[in-house]
Amino acid sequence: MKRYDGIKNIMEYVTNEIVVANIGFPSRELYDIKDRNRNFYMLGSMGLVSSIGLGLALSQKEKVVVLDGDGSTLMNLGSLVTISNQNPNNIILIVIDNGVYGSTGNQPTYSQSTDLLKIAKSVGFKNSYDFNKINFKDILTKNQDNSTFIHYKTSPGNANIGIIDLDPESIKKRFMNSI
């Protein structure tokens, strides 16, 4: 199963939650699967989607689902430490781990030998799960006591889809107006 189907499985249960997606194909695939005002397509900063998600989670009450990549998570591992220590109970950080920098040509990342779920547990995430071993709908819809980290292993590969047909300013404006 590739990232596209992983995002589909996640979005099947998303209703009113905020969704923040990583740069490149994760954002493009989310746009193709379920575009909504409450999606923030992060177009620029690899590694920072979890930090943006944390800021949103801390500044308002709604649930924030973050779709990150393994390469980007590895680029900003410090963010995991910050999130687990701030511990807002309304963030669900999902790392879609395809083992490669998929958006730039499938170069392998160190997630092939470094276990991101173990890292999340070891920096203090009390709720840290393998997507395939949980009922995601339950995690998403029930109130949690702590921040949630979900590791979602997929195969490499990008969907054959178009680009996001919105300019960055519109993405930001409609997102801000929706929350």
Ligand X SMILES: Cc1ncc(C[n+]2csc(CCOP(=O)(O)OP(=O)(O)O)c2C)c(N)n1
Give the residues lining the site for ligand X (CB under 6 A). Answer: 3, 22-26, 46, 69-72, 96, 98, 100-104, 109
- Provide, rounded to whole angstroms, the least separation between the CB of residue 44 and ligand X: 7
Query: What's the per-residue H, E or C state across 127-168?
Result: EEEEHHHCCHHHHHHCCCCCCEEEEEECECCCCCCCCCCCCH
Q: CB nearer to ligand X: give 110 or 126.
A: 110
Smallest distance, Å, CB 149 to ligand X? 15
What is the 3-class SS of the chain, one letter each residue? CEHHHHHHHHHCCCCCCEEEECCCHHHHHHHHHHCCCCEEECCCCCCCHHHHHHHHHHHCCCCEEEEEEHHHHHHCCHHHHHHHHHCCCCEEEEEEECCEEHHHCCEECHHHCCCHHHHHHHCCCCEEEEHHHCCHHHHHHCCCCCCEEEEEECECCCCCCCCCCCCHHHHHHHHHHHC
In angstroms, what is the minimal distance from the CB of 91 to ligand X?
18
Pick 109 or 148: Cβ nearer ligand X: 109
For ligand X, which is the closer residue by CB, 22 or 79?
22
| Of residues 53 and 71, the one with the C-beta less far from ligand X | 71
Least separation, in Å, of the C-beta of 141 and ligand X? 26
Between 88 and 99, name the residue whose CB sits nearer to ligand X. Answer: 99
Residue nearest to ligand X (CB): 69
How far apart are CB 71 and ligand X at their closest, in Å? 3
